[in-house]
Structure 1
Amino acid sequence: MKAPDQHIYAHPAWLILILSLAPTIGLGIGRFAYALVLPDMRDALGWSYSAAGFMNTINAVGYLAGALLASRMIRRFGLPQTVRWGTLAAIASLTLCAVSGNFFVLSFARLLAGVGAAGGFVGGAALAATIAQTRPERANFLLSLYYAGPGLGIISSGLIAPFVLQGFGPGSWWIVWWAMTLLCAVLILPLLLAPLGSGAAIDSAAPAKFSIRPVLVYLIGYFLFGAGYIAYMTFMIAYVRDAGGGALAQSAFWGLIGLSAFVTPWVWRRVLALDRGGLATTIILGTNAVGAALPIFGHSVWLLAISALVFGVAFFAVVGSTTAFVRFNYPPQAWPTAIAALTISFGIGQTLGPIVVGAITDAVGSLSFALNVSAAMLALGAVLSAFQRKVGPKA
């Protein structure tokens, strides 16, 4: 890894917040806004729950492909360009969703959204880790700012989508996608204009040493997180709607998940500083599982609100804990490869999660049962992460 440019990175917090716009667009909107329009798309287009789940599965396939290609893209084009082009691809996918109701076109759009989001996320995470290293005493806090990005996307889409659907009526899902496209076109401007550096930030001559065996249990735990969280994020809006929640309730629920992301840097800063193998991930992922399990106990407004807050405050921090794990256990040259490997494991999980949960829901006719399975996978992932030990001293 080339030495960080101290002049360019004179304002690390500001630059990392700008970088966080990549997952804001690629994940917070490109991936998660689908849950807000899913009920209307399902009704208007005549989809089963399996078909609806497939749209997130194909998105996850794209995310997995993007993660597999990320290290190569970074070495060829550099971190800043990988982040920017990946985010632009995610915006292009939103436009495709707005212009067609064809299942195959929408499938390709969701695939493209996943590829772009993964490239933007992996590149952004590695660049954020590089920038954070310029302030070692604040590195964990600075790095956690990056993972607040999806929260902004969730809040933004939650404030727009339910009311667009309510205002324009059934079948207006495509108008929501246009609104999301325009919003992202504005959000990407700081990312395109910010001085993030030029050229490759990774020294291509330096070997990126990464072995799966020492972190296999951690990768399995992260796989279970990917499989478990996506069911909650895909179907909870449908769950709220089925419980009688209108546009305001759906917007409030979604907004609480996004809002909680902004407190994660302060809530988890001490936990993220734990250099003890998978302990930080176990604590945060366990909290995430509790949040996902709460709707099992009823449909009350307060229970759903607490679920959204607990799930959200831990959800974004789980990913942050894995990047902190990489930073503690590997030399900088290996960061992109290690982050990509974790993203691949996560991607496989979220590829299988939506279609499996959708099939379970179709088979038993109950979203509650599917959410139980989701919470159980998150809890098991937390348990497995506890068995991960330190890989070795950071070089």
Structure 2
Amino acid sequence: MHAPDRPASYAHPARLILILSLAPTVGLGIGRFAYALVLPDMRDTLAWSYSAAGFMNTINAAGYLAGALFASRMIRRFGLAASVRWGTLACVLSLALCAITGNFYVLSFARLLAGVGAAAGFVGGGALAATIAQSRPERANFLLSLFYAGPGIGILASGLAAPFVLQGFGPGSWWIVWWAMTALAVVMTIPVLLAPFHARAALTETTAVKFAVAPVVIYLTGYFLFGAGYIAYMTFMIAYIRDAGGGAAAQSAFWSLIGVSAFATPWVWRRVLALDRGGLATTIILGVNAIGAAMPIFGHSVWLLATSALVFGVAFFAVVGSTTAFVRFNYPPQAWPTAIAAMTISFGIGQTLGPIVVGAITDALGSLSFALNVSAAMLALGAVLSAFQRKVRSF
């Protein structure tokens, strides 16, 4: 592989990538996933069905899909760093909108905006992180995994705060949680706006390169199933725990364990992420993710749920990292934004369909357990399909 130019400003790649990881921290860890923490109170207060509750994540995912579709064009026009920064600011605005109204349509727009912004930040950030990581080829996979651990910071922070805010202010205080999440996002966005991402990063990776779907269609299908499967777990598990009698402490502990597990991701999976053997790395990691998602099916034990959170979390963040590693191994640097966008589109379609379908299943059958069964099955099937992906001879 011909590595892109390595500017001197990348003398501290780990620090830059950690700052860059705050973009998905805001866009995904808070902007998308914190919704699960306030969902039960919003559903009770606003009299939503599970389908309506699922729709809020579906519209968020639709925005993410739209953002992914236009990400490559946006990056070519404005550059990687600008796409990351503007996308993150859009996510902050969306959080503030969620705090000021209970109107279903305004909330839907806010969730849509959060999705668009998160995709711009994620696709641009993933390509920029891959570029920065290439400045230290011997540590590239480890450095890249730091970026994908970013959402865990947002999940951990929101998990430590939101349940106790709800408990302290009582029923109907979901909007106060959104204000707290907005303040948290503002603090985390400041380093992203100030970081010295080198201007040349916007020039070396943004040349348009043709991306062929056919050689990776089976891999894209597996990633689609990951998108559809994981979102049900992340959307409804807090409601599942609350329905089982879990209070603020239990909800906070469960959510925080998912976030904490992200910090182990770079060390747990660095050798697996280094496997340049088609979809094998994704198969291994996604298989572990499926096991974590399946555990709540077998009961409500505290230890079982804690183990589920840790196993699901440590693999969840690495699945996305494995797709970027796959792109880095199989495509030239000029193709990275386009290839990452293609992966994100496939993922986005899956997570767009997942919440509304699972919500409808739950409304029809009156049980979240069945929805979680479907979630785990989709993740397992995605792992199986990824095993059939071979290397792409694109350069």
The bucket for the TM-score relative to the shorter chain is over 0.9
| CA positional deviation for 1:197 | 1.8
Between 202-211 and 285-294, the greater mean CA deviation after superposition: 202-211
Q: Distance between the aligned counterparts of 2:78 and 2:101, measured in 1?
A: 32
Q: Please show how residues 227-238 of structure 1 align to structure 2 within 5 Å.
A: 227-238=228-239
Aligned residues of 1:77 and 1:200 also touching (Cα < 8 A) = no
Q: Distance between the aligned counterparts of 1:373 and 1:23, measured in 2?
A: 27
Q: Distance between the aligned counterparts of 1:11 and 1:107, measured in 2?
A: 40
CA separation of 1:156 and 1:320: change in aligned 2, threshold 3 A: same
CA separation of 1:45 and 1:264: change in aligned 2, threshold 3 A: same
What amino acid is the match of 2:192? L
SS of the residue aligned with 1:72?
helix
Residue 286 (structure 2) pairs with residue 277 (structure 1): no
Q: Distance between the aligned counterparts of 2:381 and 2:205, measured in 1?
A: 38
Aligned residues of 2:64 and 2:119 also touching (Cα < 8 A) = yes
1:88 is matched with which residue? 89
Residue 375 (structure 2) pairs with residue 370 (structure 1): no
Superposed CA deviations along residues 176-233 of structure 1, whole A, max 9, x for unmatched, are: 0000000111111111111012366244884412100000000000000000000000
CA separation of 1:120 and 1:293: change in aligned 2, threshold 3 A: same
Q: Distance between the aligned counterparts of 1:87 and 1:238, measured in 2?
A: 28
Aligned residues of 2:222 and 2:386 also touching (Cα < 8 A) = yes
1:286 is matched with which residue? 287
| CA positional deviation for 1:5 | 4.1
CA separation of 1:65 and 1:168: change in aligned 2, threshold 3 A: same
Between 194-203 and 43-52, the greater mean CA deviation after superposition: 194-203
Q: Distance between the aligned counterparts of 1:135 and 1:390, measured in 2?
A: 23
Q: Distance between the aligned counterparts of 2:68 and 2:373, measured in 1?
A: 29
1:51 is matched with which residue? 52
Q: Distance between the aligned counterparts of 1:360 and 1:101, measured in 2?
A: 25
CA RMSD of aligned residues (A): 1.2
Q: Distance between the aligned counterparts of 1:366 and 1:279, measured in 2?
A: 34
CA separation of 1:158 and 1:206: change in aligned 2, threshold 3 A: closer
1:218 is matched with which residue? 219
Q: Please show how residues 205-354 of structure 1 align to structure 2 within 5 Å.
A: 206-354=207-355
Aligned residues of 1:202 and 1:333 also touching (Cα < 8 A) = no
Give the paired residue count.
394
Superposed CA deviations along residues 158-179 of structure 1, whole A, max 9, x for unmatched, are: 0110000000000000000000
CA separation of 1:95 and 1:304: change in aligned 2, threshold 3 A: same
What amino acid is the match of 2:26? I
1:34 is matched with which residue? 35
Superposed CA deviations along residues 111-144 of structure 1, whole A, max 9, x for unmatched, are: 0000000000000000000000010000000000
| CA positional deviation for 1:385 | 0.2
2:61 is matched with which residue? 60
Q: Distance between the aligned counterparts of 2:204 and 2:169, measured in 1?
A: 52
Q: Distance between the aligned counterparts of 1:204 and 1:134, measured in 2?
A: 14
Q: Distance between the aligned counterparts of 1:159 and 1:14, measured in 2?
A: 25
Q: Distance between the aligned counterparts of 2:259 and 2:54, measured in 1?
A: 22
Q: Please show how residues 66-215 of structure 1 align to structure 2 within 5 Å.
A: 66-198=67-199, 201-203=202-204, 206-215=207-216
Aligned residues of 1:80 and 1:123 also touching (Cα < 8 A) = yes
For structure 2, the residue ranges without an aligned partner over 5 or more in a row are none
What amino acid is the match of 2:218? V
| CA positional deviation for 1:8 | 1.0
Superposed CA deviations along residues 214-266 of structure 1, whole A, max 9, x for unmatched, are: 00000000000000000000000000101110000000000000000000000
Aligned residues of 1:148 and 1:262 also touching (Cα < 8 A) = yes
Q: Distance between the aligned counterparts of 1:138 and 1:156, measured in 2?
A: 28
What amino acid is the match of 1:297? F
Q: Distance between the aligned counterparts of 1:106 and 1:175, measured in 2?
A: 15
What amino acid is the match of 1:18? I
Q: Distance between the aligned counterparts of 1:389 and 1:182, measured in 2?
A: 45
SS of the residue aligned with 2:8?
coil
Aligned residues of 1:70 and 1:119 also touching (Cα < 8 A) = yes
What amino acid is the match of 1:209? K
SS of the residue aligned with 1:389?
coil
Q: Distance between the aligned counterparts of 2:64 and 2:201, measured in 1?
A: 22
Between 189-198 and 35-44, the greater mean CA deviation after superposition: 189-198
Q: Distance between the aligned counterparts of 2:108 and 2:358, measured in 1?
A: 18
The TM-score, its normalising length taken from structure 1, stands at 0.98
Q: Distance between the aligned counterparts of 1:118 and 1:74, measured in 2?
A: 12
SS of the residue aligned with 2:252?
helix
For structure 1, the residue ranges without an aligned partner over 5 or more in a row are none
CA separation of 1:245 and 1:25: change in aligned 2, threshold 3 A: same
Q: Distance between the aligned counterparts of 1:63 and 1:14, measured in 2?
A: 27
SS of the residue aligned with 2:130?
helix
Tell me which stretches of 4 or more aligned residues in structure 1 moved more than 4 Å.
none
CA separation of 1:100 and 1:387: change in aligned 2, threshold 3 A: same
